[in-house]
Amino acid sequence: PAAAYGTSALAAAWPNERGARPVRAEVPEPFSVRMPLPATLKPVARSSTTDYYVMTARKANAQILRGATTEIYGYDGQFPGPTIRARAGRRVVLAQTNQLDMDTAVHLHGGHTPPASDGFPLDVIAPGKTRIYEYPNRQQATTLWYHDHAHHMEAEHVYRGLHGFYLIEDPAEAELGLPSGEFDVPIMLRDARFADDGSLHFVAEDFQNRTTILTNGRPQPYFPVAARRYRFRLLNGSNLRSFVLRLGAGEEMAQIGTDGGLLGAPATTREIRISPGERVEVVVDFTGREGSQVILADDHAGPVLRFDVGAPAYDASRVPAVLRPLPPLGEPDVVRQMSLGIDPQDFTFKINGKVFDPHRVDTTIRRGDTEVWEVTNGDTFTIPHNFHMHLVQFRVLSRNGRPPVPAEGGWKDTVPLQPGETVRLQATFTGPAGRYVYHCHLIDHSSHAMMATMEIVD
């Protein structure tokens, strides 16, 4: 009977389905599967300056649901893709082969990357081809991620699994004594919609129906932890969904980092707000909670992960009162306005009244300049957006005229924009000259042209 629905090995592995013939793929019982950790990719070679990696984007069958496998697009066939661990100042050269039957492009989100390697939407890898990406990693320790950026296709490609972690480490961070090694855990949250046969169902703008939350690729997993401190690197890999996460009965967490690295000082919080593309790092202390279960839950979607606290473990980690002081903000050379919204005439997604044209330069920036961008969600349909800039990390000067909350006070590359909100962002464009994009990171919107180009000129 198992063979009749084509997934014999998997179905037979589920003891409670013995003898029954499932007619459809099902989301497993909550907390019945363990949260996987994406594998760390090993370099194929190293030199004194560089780590060399190879990766292949291809279709694969992932075990996500019960009763069927799900076809995904995965870097090395994995869902999420393998994690790259880079060191600040040490170059990564990544050979990406595209074994899918469609163009891809790889973007390192948050990386200070030269234009040829930034995954500009037209710089695609054709099926069967390989492209070499060079990442200088001349930036401080932080949690980045890489994902597809092919013109108009990033939404579907990322949705189908072309996403993975890219972590940068540096000695100054290591010296702080934060939880490390197996106690430093990347967690990607995203939503998805599955058809009855277990396949991923993609319809653009389908925010109502993507109701299954995947935590490192599995629905509502559990994760065994020791009764000690952990560092969690949270990434929202959803196309459209924002999360408001709480731990247990509203317990305190120490937020230590954001998109661009460590905060100046830890910020105590009871909720984590994270919109698509953003990263939030927290330290959670399970000391003294041996034998308990602590649920991480989203205000709307409910539980996303359960921590099962085991025995105490030796813990020399700490959360210092000072993490990485932020430099003073200089005076801007230029101030610009950016407005995001859907055109009520034709329902196109626009920035400053224009749909994306990768051949047009929308913003010309002198290399080295410091700029303030006042970015508004001016949408008349009261749809949330967010705003992501390539190449730089920026600072939030204000949100709706008020100073940013501590969680938003560090280095950022993506910020949420509720309807009517305005954020003022300051960035210094020291990066290499060339063309880059900025866009809404609700990527169903960016795939529908809510994107623009900037050219850094000498």
Site of interaction with ligand C2O (CB under 6 A): 107, 109, 147, 149, 277, 388, 390, 437, 439, 441
146, 84 Cβ separation under 8 angstroms = yes
388 binds Cu ion (CB under 5 A): no
DSSP secondary structure of 394-458: EEEEEETTBPPPGGGSSEESEEEE-TT-EEEEEEE--S-SEEEEEE-SSHHHHHTT-EEEEEEE-
Q: How do strand 222-227 and strand 411-412 relate by DSSP bridges?
A: unpaired
Q: What does 388 interact with, of Cu ion, ligand C2O, none (CB < 5 to 8 A by kind)?
A: ligand C2O
- Paired tokens of 438: 């900025």
Task: Tell the smallest beta-carbon distance from residue 205 to ligand C2O (Å).
Answer: 18
For ligand C2O, the closer of residues 323 and 442 by Cβ is 442
Contacts with Cu ion, 331-370, as mask; x by CB under 5 A: ----------------------------------------
**Of 66, 56, 276, 326, the residue nearest 154 (C-alpha):** 276
Tell which one of 131, 246, 385, 412 touches Cu ion (CB under 5 A).
Answer: 385
Rounded distance between C-alpha atoms, residue 17 and residue 92, angstroms: 46
For Cu ion, the closer of residues 324 and 385 by Cβ is 385
Rounded distance between C-alpha atoms, residue 1 and residue 20, angstroms: 8
Task: Tell the smallest beta-carbon distance from residue 163 to ligand C2O (Å).
Answer: 9
For ligand C2O, the closer of residues 104 and 317 by Cβ is 104
Q: Which parts of 42-61 interact with Cu ion (CB under 5 A)? A: none
Q: How do strand 302-312 and strand 222-227 relate by DSSP bridges?
A: parallel
For ligand C2O, the closer of residues 157 and 231 by Cβ is 157
**Of 160, 41, 157, the residue nearest 106 (C-alpha):** 157
Q: What does 445 interact with, of ligand C2O, Cu ion, none (CB < 5 to 8 A by kind)?
A: Cu ion
308, 293 Cβ separation under 8 angstroms = yes
Task: Tell the smallest beta-carbon distance from residue 340 to Cu ion (Å).
Answer: 6
275, 423 Cβ separation under 8 angstroms = no
Q: How far is CA 378 from CA 102, 353, 366, 401, 425, in A?
A: 34, 11, 27, 16, 16
Residue nearest to ligand C2O (CB): 109
Tell which one of 10, 167, 305, 440 touches Cu ion (CB under 5 A).
Answer: 440
For Cu ion, the closer of residues 140 and 386 by Cβ is 386
261-269 sheet: strands from edge to edge: 218-219, 212-215, 184-192, 229-236, 279-285, 253-258, 261-269
Task: Tell the smallest beta-carbon distance from residue 408 to Cu ion (Å).
Answer: 18
439 binds Cu ion (CB under 5 A): no
Task: Tell the smallest beta-carbon distance from residue 18 to ligand C2O (Å).
Answer: 43
**Of 426, 338, 428, 347, the residue nearest 386 (C-alpha):** 338
Strand partners, 366: 457
For ligand C2O, the closer of residues 190 and 388 by Cβ is 388
Task: Tell the smallest beta-carbon distance from residue 55 to ligand C2O (Å).
Answer: 17
Q: What does 440 interact with, of ligand C2O, Cu ion, none (CB < 5 to 8 A by kind)?
A: Cu ion
Task: Tell the smallest beta-carbon distance from residue 171 to ligand C2O (Å).
Answer: 27
Q: What does 372 interact with, of Cu ion, ligand C2O, none (CB < 5 to 8 A by kind)?
A: none
446, 399 Cβ separation under 8 angstroms = no
Tell which one of 35, 442, 451, 454 touches Cu ion (CB under 5 A).
Answer: 442
Which region, judged by CB under 5 A, interacts with Cu ion, from 78-86, 258-266, 311-319, 439-447? 439-447
Which region, judged by CB under 5 A, interacts with Cu ion, from 143-151, 237-245, 391-399, 438-446? 438-446
Q: How far is CA 440 from CA 94, 213, 323, 417, 450, in A?
A: 26, 22, 30, 9, 6
Q: Is there a cis peptide before residue 80, judged by omega within 30 degrees of 0?
A: yes
> By the criterion CB under 5 A, which residues form the site for Cu ion?
385, 440, 442, 445
